[in-house]
Structure 1
Amino acid sequence: MATDDQKNASRRIQQREIAELAGVSISTVSRVLSSAPGISEAVQQRVLAAAAQLGYQRGTARPASRIQNITLLTSLQLAPGLDPFHAAVLSGVEQAAAQEGLHLSYASVGGPDSTLDRLRQNAVDGLLLLSIDEPELIDQITALALPTVMINVDHRELPIDAFLPDNRLGALLAMRHLIACGHRRILHITSLQRRTIRRRAEAYQVALAEAGIAYDPQLVLDIPINAESSYEAMRQRLAKKQLDFTAVFCANDLAAMGVMRAVQEAGLRIPHDLSVVGFDDIATSAYLSPPLTTVRIEAAELAALAVRRLIERAAAPERTSIRVSLACRLIERQSVARI
């Protein structure tokens, strides 16, 4: 008789065989089998046909404390239009779950509580919480008494394992770089209602204080940090001839993209007339004109660490919770000038 470990190994092999037969990646197979969003109908049918041909069945037996079914919960809109950073985290979770032989499903929360009701009724072994800012919502989720790990959630007061970028360090690296290049009037585009982004805004002020530069609230724009909002905000500011700064530090790369477009449409040059720094190092940042200086977050590593910790948490629920801030790295490209 096969052991539980052998059954888990067999399941991973079957997913690999499905991927080979369907001509897709293992993570795509995992997403289709877990009904994840963002997969075309044609790919779904190809994967399901391959699974049926191979006689794929989800195993139910597993060692006690070894989780099998996990759900990723987020207050984000999963599809369409998920931003590149969170898309990279999701991809990392999918790959890590597939490598561990876990069945991964997804759910958006924040509206009606039917999602939490379904979790109470279904056989879910563990939860990953992605970018959920609302404390009340987290309280409702933790009341389910399931092994739980948070990704990119900055609630330091909660005794829950958490993995997130070191937002403070990343922002300090960006600001210190701009200041070292001679910039003292630095516009900051942020979104203060989001806890993780607020850490970056706090570090903006810390870096100014370190350099003896007075904080000017007029140089902080608290807006949705996406390309559209930052483009419009910068366009309006430039239309009023309010170029009273030499650099812009954006809380993410999407905001930086909007800023760059507005600046270039106004006939100004980056970095000759205005320097721009982003945050996240999404894939397109290196292909902008000019390539964007930014702060890199290792999204895949963040996701893999969280999945591994969820397995450990299920095996030893009495362990003290941990908080891991993953170091960020400044990526210098061509959007910053020395003045």
Structure 2
Amino acid sequence: MNEIKPKRPRQADIAALAGVSVSTVSRVLANEPGISESVREHILKVAAEHGYQVRSAAEAVPGGLAMIASDGVTGGLSVFYESIVDGLRSAAAEHGMSFEVRLIREDRATPEVIRDHLKSARAEGLFLVGIDPSAALRSWIDEEKVPVVLVNGTDPQLRLDGVSPSNFFGAFQAAQRLLKAGHRRILHLTGSHRHTIRERVRGFDAAITSVPDAEGRLVPMTFHGSASREAHELTAAILAENAGFTAAFCMNDFIAVGVLEAVTEAGFRVPEDFAIVGFDDLPCALMTNPPLSTMRVDRAALGREAIGLMISRFRDRAAPARHVCHGVVPVAGGTVSDVATS
């Protein structure tokens, strides 16, 4: 008779048994500061009693520090990045990596500032989350040979490891959803401030040019203030032109919310008269009427993948850089008639 091996407990199991949150368990297992000793000891005791393998100090890998852009499109630590941080923390704990997270304005991400943060965090590995390093920071990284992983970012020269959604193919598929629904004049509300976003622009353009009678119009955004409000104003102005556009692909779901508001205020039926596809599958996508059709990004998986890349980098500092793309998944919603989407 085959012996059934007990299932290894997960951090969620330890959290339930200890009566604390999953994030608290992750922080304790990653040896992060800010947790009382009594809580720390209780969680470690519960973990040990239920067979969760906590790595010893001798087995621990070098520490990691995640610097997250605090002045992104949505401002502050958005829902998008919160999920990435959850994935980073969880995977760091699994690998016994001490791990800290800090917000920073992208224009403050200078070599001097980053060096000070790494030193105070006692970290060797640097995760740049939503930050494209400047030329000065790139030079410092190269000179100091700092292990770096770009999270939700990409290096056009592929000299730094990175992980991101499949932005080109995700945007291509999003535009195809609108084209297959019969739309031929399609707006694309976006910016060009990051390499990842420019990949979405390329994907949208490729889908449009693949259909002979299709026309796309890039609607650049400044992202000064609310992205939804700016999208609302831009869309209202375009609709007033009566230029015949009947659909929009939006860089993210916050923008799509503003487009939907402008379209419905103008008296268009959605999706019959005007269709919309967003990107990211944020919680706001379920709060609109109708719910947004969007593209789902597994944000926690990006964080977990980034930790794996860093562990590999620690093991072989001279290995060629790698970039990992995660596929995005269409979410049906109700703002485009694509019955084939499940």
Normalised-by-shorter TM-score class: 0.7 to 0.9
Alignment of 1:170-181 (within 5 A): 170-181=170-181
Partner of 1:7: none
The aligned runs of 1:189-204 (5 Å cut-off) are 189-204=189-204
Distance across 2 between alignment mates of 1:55 and 1:96 = 17
Pairing of 1:101-180 with structure 2 (within 5 A) = 101-109=96-104, 110=106, 111=108, 113-120=112-119, 122-136=121-135, 137-180=137-180
Distance 1:251 1:271 in 2: 18
Stretch deviating more after TM superposition (110-119 or 320-329): 110-119
Q: Which residue of 2 aligns with 1:4?
A: none
Q: 1:149 and 1:213, CA in 2 relative to 1: closer, same or farther beyond 3 A?
A: same
1:67 aligned to 2:65? no
Q: Does 1:85 align with 2:42?
A: no
Residue identity over aligned pairs, in percent, reads 30
CA–CA separation in structure 2 for the residues paired with 1:263 and 1:274? 7
Mapped contact 2:11–2:26 kept (Cα < 8 A): no
Distance in 1 between residues matched to 2:10 and 2:284, nearest whole Å:
34
Number of the residue aligned with 1:28:
24
Mapped contact 1:92–1:299 kept (Cα < 8 A): yes
Q: Compute the displacement of 1:275 (Å).
A: 0.5
Q: Which residue of 2 aligns with 1:259?
A: 259
Shift, 1:272, TM fit: 2.2
Aligned-partner SS, 2:128: strand
TM-score of the superposed pair, with normalisation by structure 1: 0.79
Q: Which amino acid aligns with 2:23?
A: S
Q: List aligned pairs for 1:212-291, cutoff 5 A.
A: 212-213=212-213, 215=215, 217=217, 219-224=218-223, 226-238=227-239, 240-242=240-242, 244-291=244-291
Listed one character per residue, the Cα deviations across residues 62-84 of structure 1 (whole Å, up to 9, x for unaligned) are: 24xx5242101233359974232
> Shift in Å at residue 284 of structure 1?
3.2
| Equivalence for 1:207 | 207
1:102 and 1:315 map into 2 onto residues whose CA distance is 13
Q: 1:278 to 1:213 in 2, by over 3 A?
A: same
- Cα gap change, 1:277 to 1:134, in 2 (>3 Å): same
SS of corresponding position for 2:312: helix
Task: Check whether the contact 2:80–2:299 (CA below 8 A) recurs between aligned residues.
Answer: yes
Q: Secondary structure at the match of 1:193?
A: coil
Indicate the residue corresponding to 2:39 in structure 1.
Answer: 51
Match of 2:51 in 1: none
* Residue 171 (structure 1) shift: 0.6
- RMSD between superposed Cα atoms in Å: 3.3
Displacement of 1:19: 7.5
The code of the aligned residue for 1:34 comes to E
Q: Secondary structure of 1:132's partner?
A: coil
Equivalent in the alignment of 2:50: none
SS of residue matched to 2:65: strand
Q: What is the deviation of 1:232?
A: 2.5
TM-fit CA distance, 1:54? 4.3
Tell me the secondary structure at the aligned position of residue 272 of structure 2. Answer: coil
Segments of structure 2 that go 5 or more residues without pairing to the other structure are 1-8, 45-53
3-state SS in 2 of match to 1:230? helix
Question: Is the contact between residue 63 and residue 122 of structure 2 (CA under 8 Å) also seen in structure 1?
Answer: yes
Matched residues in 2 for 1:25 and 1:83: separation?
20
Inter-CA distance 15–125: structure 2 relative to 1 (3 Å threshold):
farther
Within-5 A mapping of 1:320-339: 320-337=320-337
Contact 1:18 1:51 in 2 (8 A): no
Q: CA 1:198/1:49 → structure 2, altered by over 3 Å: closer, same or farther?
A: same
Equivalent position SS for 2:208: helix
Spell out, residue by residue over 1:260-307, the C-alpha distance to the aligned partner (whole angstroms, 9 max, x if none): 122223333211221000011123323421121111212122211111
Unaligned residue ranges in structure 1 (runs of 5+): 1-11, 36-43
Q: Could you say if the C-alpha distance between residues 13 and 194 of structure 1 is closer, same or farther in structure 2, counting changes exceeding 3 Å?
A: closer
How far the C-alpha of 1:168 sits from its partner, in A, is 0.5
In structure 2, what residue type is equivalent to 1:129? L
